[in-house]
Amino acid sequence: MLSLFLLAVAAAQSTLPPADSFCGRLHEQLPLRLSRTAPDTWERDTTGGLAGLLFGASDRTFVMQMHTVDEFATIDEVQRLAAACTAERKGAICRIEGPAAFTLQAQNKSLRIVASLGEKASVRIVNVTIQCRNDI
């Protein structure tokens, strides 16, 4: 019986993003699950009022932004981060390469995750799903 419990715990942990990764830090603020369709991707379906649950919002309008982590950043750095988030056919994507700060916002509440120097990830909103992938 104990071995079944330990197997269940191990299986549950393997479906979580690595704790020391960008998606792992996002998971701490916005619980994610392993995608059934996209390999190495964690996601959160926002139907059912996720915005209201987490942010107190009544709709599912999200804003993703990239910011510098250094107040003395160069113009090139600011421009690089401004171009990191782009619109796609059914949503948007932010291609994150640290050092950078990523913000996900709904209404007047937001989540902020910092990417370390050299760390790469992507956060995508497709229809009603938020996806996170740690890129190597």
User: Where do the domains of the chain lie?
Assistant: 2-135
What value does the mean pLDDT take over residues 124-128?
88
Q: How many CB atoms lie within 10 A of CB 71?
A: 5
Place of tokens 């915005």: 51
Encode pLDDT of 61-104 as tens digits: 788 999 999 888 899 999 999 999 999 988 999 999 999 999 99
Residue 38 banded pLDDT, cuts 50, 70, 90: confident
What value does the mean pLDDT take over residues 102-120?
89
Residue 60 banded pLDDT, cuts 50, 70, 90: low
pLDDT at 108: 73
pLDDT at 97: 95
Label residue 127 left, alpha or beta by phi (over 0 means left) and psi (-120 to 50 means alpha): left
Q: Are 130 and 43 in contact (CB under 8 A)?
A: yes
Q: How far apart are CA 28 and CA 32, in angstroms?
A: 9
| Residue % of the chain over a pLDDT of 70 | 79
Can you tell me whether residue 69 is helix, strand or coil? coil
Nearest to 111 by CA among 30, 48, 1, 12: 30
What value does the mean pLDDT take over residues 8-13?
39
The residue ranking higher by pLDDT, 19 or 32, is 32
Residue 136 banded pLDDT, cuts 50, 70, 90: low
